[in-house]
């Protein structure tokens, strides 16, 4: 899953890296096919080379030592807001068929059933990056028909609703889960199944998705991790903390 996500980063791109799995995926990308990618962290850090030690938060010492730039949040997120970031990487608690993500409230926001931690910088990344890479676990209760609350906007109600809301570009380019890869497809920009990971089936994926997930015409199996990719992953995530 992390390796599939790492593959979405192109060389020389400026990538906004969100917490947890995205940091690991960026590290793998840099060590494999995207050695010139630039990582941007919303607390105010920009890095070329990944941190030498495992990170629990983006503010940890190893992420700052040898950084390309340490600055404030407005400066680094201003790059995003100014349209200078190629891709943003975020995780999601709940996602719907149009790639809208909920990390705030399940139920009514005035009286929630479940209070999730909140938005962090995710809405900013979701709205302003040229494209969004989403990474999350694939469970029916997390891939829902319609999120209760849109923390981070995908394509809203589909079609051109995102543009009508005032977001001129961007939007989810891909959703990577531990079972599959989904991509927006068709005029409504609805998420479709693009690939199923090795040892997973289309049937299983449909069963674990909360809407009638359609497939793209040439849906196929995700390419297996290469030896180089696996070595990079082990190097970045030495203790297996984020993989478990």
119 binds another protein (CB under 8 A): yes
When asked if residue 42 is in the footprint of another protein (CB under 8 A), the reply is: yes
> Is 13 noted as a catalytic residue in this protein?
no
Distance between CA atoms of residues 48 and 62, nearest Å: 13
**Residue 21 — left, alpha, or beta (φ > 0 → left; ψ -120 to 50 → alpha)?**
alpha
CA distances from 7 to 21, 104, 150 (A): 14, 29, 27
Minimum CB–partner distance for residue 35 and another protein (Å): 24
Interface with another protein, residue 80, by CB under 8 A: yes
Binding mask 122-141 for another protein (x = CB under 8 A): xxx-xxx-------------
User: Could you give the CA distance from residue 170 to residue 95 in angstroms, rounded to a whole number?
Assistant: 17
Question: Under the criterion CB under 8 A, does residue 109 sit at the interface with another protein?
Answer: yes
Write down how long the chain is.
Answer: 244
Q: Which is nearer to another protein, 31 or 126 (CB)?
A: 126
Q: How far apart are CA 176 and CA 148, in angstroms?
A: 21
Residues 157-176 that bind another protein (CB under 8 A): 162, 165-167
Among 10, 48, 70, 173, binds another protein (CB under 8 A): 70
Work out whether 104 is an interface residue with another protein (CB under 8 A). Answer: yes
Q: Are 50 and 30 in contact (CB under 8 A)?
A: yes
Helix 21-31 / helix 227-236 crossing angle, nearest 10 deg: 130
Cβ 19 to another protein, closest distance in Å?
Answer: 7
Q: Select from 40, 46, 97 the least CA-distant residue to 67.
A: 46
The answer to the question of residue 71 lying near another protein (CB under 8 A) is yes
Residues in binding contact with another protein, number by CB under 8 A: 52
CB of 145 to another protein, least distance (A): 17
Q: Is the sign of the CA dihedral 191, 106, 21, 221 positive or negative?
A: negative
Q: Which stretch binds another protein (CB under 8 A): 37-45, 136-144, 203-211, 226-234?
A: 37-45
**Which member of 8, 42, 94, 229 is catalytic?**
42
Q: How far is the CB of 199 from another protein (least distance, A)?
A: 27
Give the bridge partners for 107, in sequence order.
Answer: 112
Sign of the alpha-carbon torsion through 189, 8, 124, 109? positive
The binding site for another protein (CB under 8 A) comprises 19, 41-45, 56-61, 64-65, 67, 70-74, 77, 80-81, 104-105, 109, 112-124, 126-128, 149-153, 156, 162, 165-167
Active site residues: 42
């Amino acid at each position: 899953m992390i390796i599939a996500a790492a593959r979405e980063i192109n060389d020389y791109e400026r990538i906004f890296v969100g917490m947890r799995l995205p940091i690991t995926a960026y590290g793998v990308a840099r060590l494999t096919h995207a050695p010139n990618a630039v990582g941007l962290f919303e607390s105010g850090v920009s890095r070329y080379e990944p941190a030498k030690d495992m990170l629990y938060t983006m503010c940890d010492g190893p992420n700052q030592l040898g950084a390309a730039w340490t600055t404030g949040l407005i400066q680094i997120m201003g790059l995003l807001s100014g349209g200078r970031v190629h891709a943003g990487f975020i995780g999601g608690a709940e996602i719907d068929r149009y790639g809208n993500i909920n990390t705030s409230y399940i139920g009514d926001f005035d009286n929630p059933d479940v209070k999730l931690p909140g938005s962090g910088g995710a809405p900013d990344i979701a709205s302003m990056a040229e494209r969004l890479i989403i990474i999350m676990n694939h469970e029916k209760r997390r891939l829902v028909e319609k999120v209760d609350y849109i923390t981070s906007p995908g394509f809203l109600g589909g079609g051109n609703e995102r543009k009508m809301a005032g977001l001129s570009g961007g939007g989810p380019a891909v959703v990577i889960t531990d079972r599959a890869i989904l991509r927006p497809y068709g005029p409504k920009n609805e998420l479709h199944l693009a690939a199923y990971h090795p040892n997973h089936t289309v049937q299983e994926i449909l069963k674990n998705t909360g809407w009638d997930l359609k497939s793209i015409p040439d849906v196929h199996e995700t390419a297996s991790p290469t030896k180089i990719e696996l070595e990079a992953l082990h190097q970045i995530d030495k203790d297996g903390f984020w993989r478990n």
